[in-house]
């Protein structure tokens, strides 16, 4: 039986492996054309629910504090909310003049913040979740690679701040996957062992077993040492 009290809250959004939807937007740094303006670079596109709110303020400070680390791995940050440019600018000015958090003070937010007043970009990316709010975005994160392909999607509720170090860790893991053809295990950090790809045939499986690799626990779980300096050296060479 159909329950008329159940609201239909289906949301369309791009998935991992899809091309990131394109858009032209006004931001605190001027007009951007996405993904054209960011071709060849990784992008963290994130949404925040509202300007002048406590959780969002701490997140902006955390993103800005790590901006050089992101740039060092060829990654740009773009923020988005439904606020107007005037609101965004006033809030960023307040962050610079009024806030001292974790000894982050007089911080100038350098990354662009999109003004999505008509919700068009938020809806395009599935950042509006109607059972939470139909006028404010959830805390969405889209990690997009240099070819414009979505590689990771993260969602957080409005009251829970994101872990910026985890977003950075995911970026390093994705770039390590691509650069070295390996996978990363649970709780992986740069410098820890990585995982060899699975054998794809019975012959390959038997060859792996026959090698008696000291890092092989069983044919489907084989580790490889990959020093942190080697990772960053390779990733820096891949920057454009």
Catalytic positions, please? 56
CA distance 106 to 99: 7
CA distance 95 to 91: 6
What is the DSSP code (8-state) at residue 36?
A: G
* Separation of CA 39 from chain center: 16
Q: How far, CA to CA in Å, does 79 sit from each of 16, 92, 148, 205?
A: 19, 12, 17, 46
* Interstrand relation of 100-101 and 104-105 (parallel, antiparallel or unpaired): antiparallel
Q: How far, CA to CA in Å, does 156 sit from each of 49, 97, 139, 185?
A: 11, 28, 5, 23
Contact by Cβ (8 Å): 152, 16 = yes
Positive or negative torsion for Cα 179, 45, 167, 28:
positive
Terminal C-alpha separation, the chain: 57
């Amino acid at each position: 039986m159909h329950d008329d009290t159940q609201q239909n809250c289906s949301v369309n959004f791009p998935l991992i492996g899809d091309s990131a939807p394109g858009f032209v937007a006004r931001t605190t740094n001027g007009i951007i054309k996405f993904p054209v303006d960011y071709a060849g670079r990784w992008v963290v596109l994130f949404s925040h629910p509202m300007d002048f709110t406590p959780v969002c303020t701490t997140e902006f400070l955390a993103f800005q504090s790590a901006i050089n680390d992101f740039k060092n791995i060829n990654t740009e940050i773009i923020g988005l909310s439904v606020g107007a440019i005037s609101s965004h600018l006033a809030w960023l000015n307040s962050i610079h003049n009024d806030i001292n958090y974790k000894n982050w003070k007089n911080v100038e937010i350098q990354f662009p913040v999109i003004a999505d007043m008509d919700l068009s970009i938020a809806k395009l990316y599935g950042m509006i979740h109607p059972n939470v709010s139909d006028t404010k975005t959830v805390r969405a994160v889209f990690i997009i690679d240099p070819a414009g392909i979505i590689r990771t999607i993260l969602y957080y509720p409005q009251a829970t701040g994101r872990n910026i170090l985890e977003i950075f860790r995911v970026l390093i893991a994705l770039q390590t996957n691509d650069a070295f053809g390996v996978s990363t295990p649970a709780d992986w950090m740069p410098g820890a062992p990585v995982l060899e790809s699975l054998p794809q045939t019975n012959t390959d499986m038997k060859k792996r077993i026959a090698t008696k690799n000291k890092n092989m626990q069983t044919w489907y779980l084989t580790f490889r040492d990959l020093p942190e300096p080697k990772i960053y050296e390779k990733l820096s060479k891949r920057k454009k």
